[in-house]
Amino acid sequence: MDLGLSAFVVAAVMLFIVVTFFKGVRVVPQGYEYTVEHFGRYTHTMSPGLHFLIPYMQSIGRKVNMMEQVFEVPSQDVITKDNAVVKVDGVVFFQVLDAAKAAYEVSSLDQAMIALVQTNIRTVIGSMDLDESLSQRETINAKLLGVVDHATSPWGVKVNRIEIKDIQPPRDLVDAMARQMKAERDKRASILEAEGARQSEILRAEGEKQGAILEAEGKREAAYREAEARERLAEAEAKATELVSNAIAQGDVQAINYFIAQKYVEAFKELAKAPNQKFVLMPMEASGMIGSIAGIAELAKDALGRQQAAAPSGGARPPRIPGG
């Protein structure tokens, strides 16, 4: 009986020793810190590694995650400065820097941070118009980060980033914005179309201007050429008149037939060109026209003979060829 009691006592003592050993030995994993309490009062913080506690006097208070953490901010309705109601949600990245403050300065750190972020989201977006809140998301993130990080500093928490995930206006506002965007695009399209038409008119006008300039230059060149031709023709006629006058003055009466035949031929040519003439009646004086033409031939023959005789005689006047 005494032997059995002794064995029980020994077993109980051994169990007490083992339990005491395990209560006094603590291993803190990487990325965590444990707070130590002495009869319920915080004394110090254990970093990752092996630690020994005084059994039954010291105990583990809080196990604090020291790694960067993330939590989502639930969606909430926010009224903007221009009284538009939008749904806003976000995400927060933070890290605990002081385990003791995070454990004992605030109760339920996650819930406290969610409430703080939601309140500041309503404050920041409530001070902005709808268009500003939709287009200046980076500004909203920066304002929220500054305010929330400052507010959580006494809790031993460092807020690294706050990102607004989505801002959802009401359906009627979305439809109105879509119509406004469509109107703006139609306006830009009309402006571009009008600008294109304007440029087209300008280019066409420039082309017509260049064409008119080229046409005027062509007409000017043609007029110049025509005037030059008329001048040369007048010079030729004057020369011919001078030659004929000289021939008449020298006693060659057939030279006058040149003018008569020329006018007669021109009149007959105009008569033949008339579109309403079907028949041409030769006048009785046709034999006179033929005689005039013969006179022209005789005059030409006389002039040719004079030129041939002037060559060997050194400029002496050749004898006149008799005729008509």
Could you please report the per-residue DSSP string of 10-54?
HHHHHHHHHHHHHHHEEEEPTTEEEEEEETTEEEEEEPSEEEE--
Domain assignment present for residue 178? The answer is: no
Q: Please report the pLDDT score of residue 253 as a whole number.
A: 57
Provide the CATH number for the domain around residue 158: 3.30.479.30
In this structure, are 78 and 19 located in the same domain? no
Domain assignment present for residue 87? The answer is: yes
In this structure, are 28 and 79 located in the same domain? no
169, 204, 225 - which closes a domain: 169
- How many domains is the chain partitioned into structurally? 3
In this structure, are 59 and 104 located in the same domain? no
Domain assignment present for residue 245? The answer is: no
Residue predicted with more confidence, 318 or 26: 26
Domain assignment present for residue 189? The answer is: no
In this structure, are 143 and 155 located in the same domain? yes
Domain assignment present for residue 228? The answer is: no
Domain boundaries, position 258: 250-324
In this structure, are 73 and 156 located in the same domain? yes
In this structure, are 158 and 91 located in the same domain? yes
Share of the chain above pLDDT 70, in %: 74
Residue 301 pLDDT level (bands cut at 50, 70, 90): low
In this structure, are 303 and 269 located in the same domain? yes
Hey, which bits of the chain come out as E strands?
Answer: 25-28, 32-38, 41-46, 49-52, 58-65, 69-79, 85-96, 157-168
Domain assignment present for residue 81? The answer is: yes
65, 83, 100 - which closes a domain: 65
**Rounded mean pLDDT of 252-281?**
62
In this structure, are 55 and 87 located in the same domain? no
In this structure, are 87 and 148 located in the same domain? yes
Encode pLDDT of 221-255 as tens digits: 888 888 888 788 778 777 777 776 777 676 665 66
In this structure, are 28 and 84 located in the same domain? no
169, 194, 222 - which closes a domain: 169
In this structure, are 43 and 100 located in the same domain? no
Q: Are the C-beta atoms of 82 and 130 separated by less than 8 Å?
A: yes
Contacts for 63 with CB less than 8 Å, ≥ 6 apart: 32, 33, 34
**Rounded mean pLDDT of 119-138?**
90
Q: Are the C-beta atoms of 252 and 320 separated by less than 8 Å?
A: yes
Residue 207 pLDDT level (bands cut at 50, 70, 90): confident
- The closest alpha carbon to 251, from 191, 195, 323, 189, belongs to 323
Domain assignment present for residue 298? The answer is: yes
Q: Please report the pLDDT score of residue 317 as a whole number.
A: 47
Per-residue pLDDT at 49 exceeds 60: yes
Q: Please report the pLDDT score of residue 58 as a whole number.
A: 87
| Bridge partner list, 51 | 26
Per-residue pLDDT at 6 exceeds 80: no
b or e along 244-273 (b: 16 or more beta carbons within 10 Å of the residue's beta carbon)? beebeeeebebbbbbebbeebeeeeeeeee
In this structure, are 77 and 155 located in the same domain? yes
Domain assignment present for residue 179? The answer is: no
Per-residue pLDDT at 311 exceeds 60: no
